[in-house]
A and B are shown apart, each in its own frame.
Chain A
Amino acid sequence: MSVLWITLIVLAIAAIAYGVSRRKAIEETKGDVRRLHSLPSYYGWFSFISSAVPAFLVLLVWLVIQPMIIGNRVNDALQLPEDATIVQGMAATRDARAVSVALDEALSRGVLQQGDIAQFAADPASLGPALRDADIELSVIVTPQLLDAARVYSSTVSMLNTLMAIVVIGIAIVGAGYAIRRITPDFRARNVVERMVMLLLIGASVIAILTTIAIVLSMVFETVNFFRQYPWTEFFFSFTWAPVFQGISQLGLLPLLWGTLYISAIALAVAVPIGLFSAIYLAEYASKSVRSVAKPLIEILAGIPTIVYGLFALITVGPLLRDWIAQPLGLGSSGSSVATAGLVMGIMIIPFISSLSDDIINAVPQSLRDGSLGLGATRSETIRQVVLPAALPGIVGAVLLAASRAIGETMIVVLGAGAAARISGNPFEAMTTITVKIVSQLTGDTDFNSPETLVAFALGLTLFVITLTLNIFALYIVRKYREQYE
């Protein structure tokens, strides 16, 4: 029985419980609902929640734990060595599942009979071709153990699925029965329901924390694995990035970090002056009508997906810079370059700087401007010597936020910066970034045992730590600044 069906059945039980309890509450008072403590629908909701919520919670936990149990069983069947890593175990389970799925498919189509499978146990290698004849994909090499594991897999899965359906639906029924029995006219249904809803609301808020924990765990886990296979000193301090699959790779962070920082620096060099001057003009000079047109137009830049900027870098800006600047000056012949990615990323960041700065400049009290103008300062003197110094902390915060965005940006650099890891000062050369390498190491065929794949997690963690530090720092500055003028 699929999860969907279980869900529907539980919802149906809960709905029935709603109706029954509501009716019961009304009947207990012989139709005089004024004698009830709460409105009748609250009695219904009480039963609905008592029935559905525990059932769904158990279902959720079950879905998380089930793969682990299956994995253990399959690994036992495969007789994996004691020191096998979790990743190896996962890979083995994946293979077993692939065989099992292929066999199920074959059985359901009638290509194979139940009895045939036993025959293949003697000659597992022939299973692949047999399935391929029937147009069933199977990319793993079948060994006797694997075939065995596949059968363990399929039997465990069907057993656990049945058990899960029974347990979850049982809990729903028990919950509904318990709730219905508790209903009396004096039962404070509203208070109980409200407490339950509150728990749900709190649960939703906790998801933010869980997400953060999941992010950290998902990366820390594999990063530790990576550092078991690859020395951390090499990772952090090596100047060479040269991954070789099935070989001795050099996985130094520094060239990637250089590319990341170089591109971000160019992006900020483009975006900070343009964004800041736009914000100043819009906040201090522009008439209402100019502002109401120019501000949304600039903000459109923030709503454009980064893949669009990436394509813009690839087909327009890259060739433009190459043909008009890099080649005539003899600086390079590549369309993908630090300058291309930096320039386009700068355009993307302009609205972040300008709208944050605009808010911050507007938060500077008008009395300071009046004071300065009243002394005979020109507007620009007022802005440069009074408004900007007063807004400086906020603007620094905005720039830091923009920097964190630039460092974490992926699509523009994937399409515009190139893939060559190198440390060079020439902005018209292709370089690469942390995010580009995360993408290239984790897409395509990946082997979660090799350091070449696992390094992506270490890169991800490095990126996360850098951006998190910048964000926390920036948010702190901006918050302090806001408090100052509140």
Chain B
Amino acid sequence: MNDMRIVERDVSTAEIKINARDVNVHYGTSHALKNVDIEILNNNVTAFIGPSGCGKSTFLRCLNRMNDTIPSAKVSGLIALDGEDIYDSKVDPVQLRAKVGMVFQKPNPFPKSIYDNVAYGPRIHGLTRSKAELDQVVETSLKKAALWNEVKDRLHSPGTGLSGGQQQRLCIARAVATSPEVLLMDEPCSALDPIATAQVEELIDELRNQFAVVIVTHSMQQAARVSQKTAFFHLGNLVEYGETGQIFTNPRDPRTESYISGKIG
């Protein structure tokens, strides 16, 4: 596996979850993302790395159409989830986002109880038929986010009262509760201390058993620790995409190498 070439990445055993072809994003007049082609695999953690403003977060937000909320953003090209174009006019972003969940840079629990935070998604999507079922979903999700033991006695106290790391895991539990197929994480650890970061990273590794996980990160160490595949973005271009080990030990593109060795960033 380690010796795999980029052009032959479809050799991988896992199925392709998201297939992006020739994706361009414009914000008003600025060209934020240029001709990006990428295939994201199921049950893998894919890390997007690159210097600030390189387009990695922009691309992430294309994957569940969060860019729709920015009026000036224009997305072109094809992004397919399980072979279906998510920018097709028949696709409802609401339904898409139920399948492609998202965790944000800053923990953003709603000003509600911990229970209501987690139950929010299942409620709006009507995923449960009874209170007992909902309780079950909340418990499962909190367990998946490795938070259950810490909060099981205070499910009805406000989510904003938790510590930063707990809040971020709550947000992950909230995203997991809608049983998505893809989980997008936009620098999920940048607002956390090292211990909380370690907990979240451990969690990400567990989550890949059930989802395709895409993580944007600033930290190359983090990308190396948690991901199987890494994509390096620079100035709106996808410069290089491949096995994480290969990217970090044997980058093909000189720009990747400069970044990894700390010359640009």
Chain A residues in the interface with B (C-beta under 8 A) = 287-288, 365, 367-378, 381, 385-386, 389-390
Q: Determine if B69 is an interface residue (Cβ-Cβ < 8 Å).
A: yes
Closest residue of chain A to B103, judged by CB?
A: A374
Chain B residues in the interface with A (C-beta under 8 A) = 64, 66, 69, 71, 94-99, 101-104, 106, 108-112, 120-121, 124-125, 171, 174-175, 178, 184
CB pair A365–B95 under 8 Å, yes or no, is no
Q: A375-B101, A375-B175 are in contact. Are A370 and B66 (CB under 8 A)?
A: yes
CB pair A376–B108 under 8 Å, yes or no, is no
* Minimum Cβ distance to chain A for residue B225 (Å): 24
How far, in angstroms, from A51 to B26 measured CA to CA in the complex?
70
* Minimum Cβ distance to chain A for residue B31 (Å): 22
How far, in angstroms, from A368 to B167 measured CA to CA in the complex?
13
CB pair A378–B66 under 8 Å, yes or no, is no
Since A370-B102, A373-B66 are in contact, a sample of 17 more A-B pairs with Cβ atoms closer than 8 Å, ordered by chain A residue number, is A367-B104, A367-B108, A369-B69, A371-B108, A371-B174, A373-B69, A374-B64, A375-B98, A375-B101, A375-B120, A375-B124, A375-B175, A376-B125, A376-B178, A377-B120, A385-B124, A390-B111
CB pair B171–A371 under 8 Å, yes or no, is yes
What's the dominant secondary structure at chain A's contact region? helix
Q: A287-B71, A381-B124 are in contact. Are A376 and B94 (CB under 8 A)?
A: yes
Among B109, B111, B175, contact of A374 (Cβ-Cβ < 8 Å): B175
CB pair A377–B94 under 8 Å, yes or no, is yes
**Which residues on A sit within 8 Å (CB–CB) of B64?**
374
Q: A368-B110, A389-B111, A389-B112 are in contact. Are A375 and B178 (CB under 8 A)?
A: yes
Among A287, A368, A381, A389, contact of B108 (Cβ-Cβ < 8 Å): A368
CB pair B97–A375 under 8 Å, yes or no, is yes
How far, in angstroms, from A390 to B109 measured CA to CA in the complex?
11
Among A370, A375, A378, contact of B121 (Cβ-Cβ < 8 Å): A375
CB pair B124–A374 under 8 Å, yes or no, is no
Q: A373-B66, A377-B94 are in contact. Are A367 and B106 (CB under 8 A)?
A: yes
Closest residue of chain B to A288, judged by CB?
A: B71
CB pair A376–B171 under 8 Å, yes or no, is no
How far, in angstroms, from A39 to B212 measured CA to CA in the complex?
76
* Minimum Cβ distance to chain A for residue B104 (Å): 6
CB pair A374–B66 under 8 Å, yes or no, is yes
Q: A389-B112, A390-B111 are in contact. Are A376 and B97 (CB under 8 A)?
A: yes
**Which residues on A sit within 8 Å (CB–CB) of B109?**
371
CB pair B104–A374 under 8 Å, yes or no, is yes
**Which residues on A sit within 8 Å (CB–CB) of B106?**
367
How far, in angstroms, from A187 to B71 measured CA to CA in the complex?
65
CB pair A377–B112 under 8 Å, yes or no, is no
* Minimum Cβ distance to chain A for residue B215 (Å): 15
Closest residue of chain B to A369, judged by CB?
A: B69
**Which residues on B sit within 8 Å (CB–CB) of A367?**
104, 106, 108
Among A288, A370, A377, contact of B124 (Cβ-Cβ < 8 Å): A377
**Which residues on A sit within 8 Å (CB–CB) of B98?**
375-376
How far, in angstroms, from A367 to B106 measured CA to CA in the complex?
8
**Closest 6 pairs (CB-CB, A-B):** A374-B102, A376-B97, A376-B98, A367-B108, A371-B108, A375-B121
Q: What are 25 A-B contacts with C-beta separation under 8 Å?
A: A287-B71, A288-B71, A365-B108, A368-B108, A370-B108, A371-B109, A371-B110, A371-B174, A373-B66, A374-B97, A374-B101, A374-B103, A374-B175, A375-B101, A375-B120, A375-B121, A375-B175, A375-B178, A376-B99, A377-B94, A377-B121, A378-B94, A381-B124, A385-B124, A390-B110
